[in-house]
Structure 1
């Protein structure tokens, strides 16, 4: 069952910005906030993302990654020009 969330003490300038953004998207402020809350809830927190990515073993060294990027980019233009 859907839940109701109430946010109190929103500064006038913050609410005005939310109203402008909602109007630009053709939705109400509650709909804009519902979309943003859904988007936020679907993404991992920073702490969760760090936990997930810390477990991945590195297959190459930093030097190897930089060398690969340099090879991919090609020669750098002469900086003296």
Structure 2
């Protein structure tokens, strides 16, 4: 179920910039912020996933750090 969020104390210049960006894309401020929050959440998940891939890569490489080994392990960790 969707949640309601209230953000307080947004500086005027930030609000104005976001409102201009929303208008430029033909979106309401609410829809624009929903989309931006969705993007932010996806980026945060990608960062977490990449941290895990790097951790697993470091564990598997264990000192063998030639380029081909690192790329192979990264591709394997990402499921490429």
TM-score by length of 2: 0.63
The residue that corresponds to 1:18 in the other structure is 18
Aligned Cα RMSD in Å?
Answer: 2.8
**How many residues of Structure 1 are paired with residues of Structure 2 in the alignment?**
65
Deviations along 1:39-64, whole A, 9 cap, x unmatched? 122231645531232212457615xx
TM-score after normalising by structure 1: 0.62
Report which structure shows greater RCO (CA 8 Å, sep ≥6).
2
Greater helix content: 2
Q: Please list every run of 5 or more consecutive structure 1 residues that lacks an aligned counterpart in the other structure.
A: 66-81
Q: Distance in 2 between matches of 1:5 and 1:25?
A: 22
